Amino acid sequence: MTAKSAAAATVATAYGYPRQGRNRELKKAIEGYWKGAVTAEALQATAAELRRENWAALAEAGVGEVPTGDFSFYDHVLDASVAVGAVPARHREAVDADPLDGYFAMARGNQDVAPLEMTKWFDTNYHYLVPELGPDTAFAANPAKPVGELREALALGHTARPVLVGPITYLLLAKPAPGVAEDFQPITLLDRLLPVYAQLLAELKAAGAEWVQLDEPALVQDRTPAELNAAARAYRELGALTDRPKLLVASYFDRLGDALPVLAKAPVEGLALDFTGPAAGNLDDLAAAGGLPGKRLVAGVVDGRNIWINDLEKSLATLATLLGLAERVDVAPSCSLLHVPIDAAAERDIDPQIARWLAFAKQKAAEVALLARGLREGTGAITAELAANRADLASRANSPITHDPAVRARTAAVTEADARRAQAYPQRAEAQRARLALPLLPTTTIGSFPQTTELRVARADLTAGRIDGAAYRERMEAEVREVIAFQEKAGLDVLVHGEPERNDMVQYFAEQLTGYLATRHGWVQSYGTRYVRPPVLAGDISRPHPMTVDWFRYAQDLTERPVKGMLTGPVTMLAWSFVRDDQPLGETARQVALALRDEVADLEAAGAAVVQVDEPALRETLPLRADARPAYLDWATESFRLATSGVRADTQIHTHMCYAEFGAIMTAIDELDADVISLEATRSHMEVAGELAGAGYPREVGPGVWDIHSPRIPSTEEAVTLLRAGLAAIPAERLWVNPDCGLKTRGWTETRASLDSLVGAARHLRAELAG
Give the integer Cα–Cα distance in Å for 726 and 734.
10
Tell me, yes or no, if 709 is annotated catalytic: yes
The answer to whether 668 and 636 are in contact (CB under 8 A) is: yes
Would you give the DSSP letter of residue 578? B
Q: Count CA within 13 A, CB hemisphere, residue 419.
A: 20
Chain centroid, CA 667 distance in Å: 22
Cα–Cα nearest to 144, from 171, 162, 168:
162
Task: Say how many residues make up the chain.
Answer: 771
The answer to whether 382 and 374 are in contact (CB under 8 A) is: yes
Q: What φ, ψ does residue 144 adopt, rounded to 5°?
A: -55, -50
Q: For 247-268, give the DSSP string.
A: EEEE--SS--TTHHHHHHHSS-
- 3-state helix, strand, coil split of the chain in percent (to 5) is 50, 15, 40
Give the integer Cα–Cα distance in Å for 420 and 417.
5
Q: For 367-408, give the DSSP string.
A: HHHHHHHHHHH-GGGGHHHHHHHHHHHHHHHT-TTS--HHHH
* Partner residues linked to 273 by β-bridges: 299
Q: For 158-207, give the DSSP string.
A: --EEEEEE-HHHHHHH-EEPTTS-TT--GGGGHHHHHHHHHHHHHHHHHT
- What HEC string does 752-767 produce? HHHHHHHHHHHHHHHH
Give the integer Cα–Cα distance in Å for 751 and 205.
49
Would you give the DSSP letter of residue 581? S
The answer to whether 355 and 341 are in contact (CB under 8 A) is: no
Cα–Cα nearest to 735, from 759, 764, 762:
762
Neighbour tally for 663: CB within 10 Å: 12
How many angstroms separate the Cα of 590 from the Cα of each of 417, 613, 615? 14, 15, 14
Q: Which amino acid is at 321?
A: T
Give the integer Cα–Cα distance in Å for 537 and 609.
31
Q: Out of 339, 521, 709, 764, pick the active-site residue.
A: 709
Give the integer Cα–Cα distance in Å for 689 and 517.
38
Would you give the DSSP letter of residue 448? B
Active site residues: 709
